[in-house]
């Protein structure tokens, strides 16, 4: 199995590149984000590779990092997500942004990917929610709060404060993170107005 390729870029296709390794050209499928990050034709390149072997074909998928390849594998554990959809998601979201979106149950961010509808986005954030925090640089308290808000289990002032920030135009994950920080500094029993004020201060930093 091929795990890495180092060579020069021979040519670009719509969703792939040909990597010349010692005179042998390997066709490697990549996400749009990866293709945009690669150097020009004729320049050196090194890619982490995922090899898929079937009876009638061998397909290579290339990534700029081992982490991105790991997400490619992880996404395909979700029902309805194959190689094409997994690449599309990684073409839309950076691995860190994808991890954050899943950890904070931000279905809207995941469903921005072409071909990913609300049902598939829901499955992704639900089935991978316990794995995403390991890949995300997020305070676990924020993840817990966001989940509580999402499931309407948060105290009413907290839920109302998050809702108020969302209505002001902030994304649900950003609003939840800001109110989580506000709730920690204000302590229990804080009123909605105080949480909103502190949350806005967090967002302005």
What is the reported pLDDT for 163?
85
Distance of alpha carbon 63 from its chain centroid, rounded?
Answer: 15
Nearest to 33 by CA among 113, 125, 104, 124: 113
The answer on pLDDT for 186 being more than 90 is no
The string of DSSP letters for 106-132 reads: -HHHHTTSTT--HHHHHHHHHHSTTTG
Strands 44-53 and 16-21, sheet pairing: unpaired
- The Cα-based distances of 184 to 129, 159, 178, 187, 205 in angstroms read 23, 14, 10, 5, 17
Would you kindly state where each structural domain of the chain is located, as residue ranges? 4-63, 66-134, 140-203
pLDDT digits (tens, 9 = 90+) for 33-62: 999 999 999 999 999 999 999 888 899 999
The CATH architecture that domain 4-63 belongs to is: Beta Barrel (2.40)
The answer on pLDDT for 142 being more than 90 is no
As given in the structure block, the two tokens for residue 128 are 């991978």
Predicted confidence band at 202 (pLDDT cuts at 50, 70, 90)? Answer: confident
Rounded distance, CA 17 to CA 38, Å? 10
Can you list the alpha helix ranges (DSSP code H) found in 60-191?
A: 66-75, 83-92, 95-103, 107-110, 118-127, 140-150, 156-167, 172-186
What is the reported pLDDT for 146?
54
Rounded to whole angstroms, the maximal C-alpha distance in the chain is: 69
The CATH architecture that domain 66-134 belongs to is: Orthogonal Bundle (1.10)
What is the reported pLDDT for 151?
41
pTM above 0.75, yes or no: no
Identify the helix (H) or strand (E) that includes residue 198: helix 192-203
């Amino acid at each position: 199995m091929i795990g890495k390729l180092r060579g020069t870029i021979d040519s670009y296709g719509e969703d792939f590149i040909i990597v010349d390794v010692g005179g042998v050209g390997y066709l490697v499928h990549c996400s749009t984000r990866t293709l945009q990050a690669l150097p020009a034709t004729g320049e050196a390149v090194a890619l982490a590779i995922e090899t898929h072997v079937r009876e009638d074909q061998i397909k290579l998928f290339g990534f700029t990092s081992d982490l991105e390849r790991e997400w490619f594998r992880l996404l395909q554990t979700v029902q309805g997500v194959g190689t094409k959809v997994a690449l599309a998601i990684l073409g839309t979201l950076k691995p860190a942004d994808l991890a954050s979106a899943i950890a904070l149950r931000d279905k809207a961010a995941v469903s921005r990917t072409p071909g990913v509808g609300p049902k598939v986005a829901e499955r992704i954030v639900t089935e991978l929610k316990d794995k995403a925090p390991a890949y995300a640089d997020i305070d676990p308290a924020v993840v817990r709060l966001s989940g509580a808000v999402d499931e309407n289990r948060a105290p009413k002032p907290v839920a109302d404060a998050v809702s108020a920030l969302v209505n002001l135009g902030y994304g649900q994950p950003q609003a939840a993170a800001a109110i989580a920080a506000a709730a920690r500094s204000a302590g229990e029993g804080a009123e909605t107005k105080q949480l909103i004020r502190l949350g806005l201060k967090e967002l302005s930093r």
